[in-house]
Amino acid sequence: KLRAREMADEALTKKLEELNMGKLDWERYNSVRARVEENIKDMKRYLKELKKRKEERQWLHRQTSGELDENRLVEVLAGERDVFKRRGNPADHDIFLSDPINIKLVVDVSASMYRFGYDGRLERLLEATLMIMECFRGDKRFNLHITGHNGS
- pLDDT tens sequence across 1-24: 788 989 998 998 899 898 898 889
Confidence check: pLDDT of 95 > 50: no
Confidence check: pLDDT of 96 > 70: no
Confidence check: pLDDT of 59 > 90: no
Would you state the pLDDT for residue 152? 79
Chain mean position to CA 135: 5
Would you state the pLDDT for residue 98? 67
Would you state the pLDDT for residue 35? 94
CB atoms inside a 10 Å sphere around CB 69: 19
Residues in a beta bridge with 103: 144
Higher pLDDT, 110 or 52: 110
User: Would you place residue 55 in the very low, low, confident or very high pLDDT band (cuts 50, 70, 90)?
Assistant: confident
Give the end-to-end CA distance of the chain in Å, rounded to a whole number: 53
Buried b (16+ CB within 10 A) or exposed e, 96-110: eeeeeeeeeeebeee
Would you state the pLDDT for residue 77? 86
Indicate the pTM of the whole model: 0.67
Confidence check: pLDDT of 116 > 90: no
Cα separations (Å) of 79 from 31, 69, 82, 84? 67, 14, 9, 12
The answer to whether residues 103 and 95 touch, using CB atoms and an 8 Å cutoff, is no
Higher pLDDT, 52 or 133: 133
Would you state the pLDDT for residue 134? 93
Would you state the pLDDT for residue 63? 87
Torsions phi, psi for 146 (to 5 deg) = -115, 130
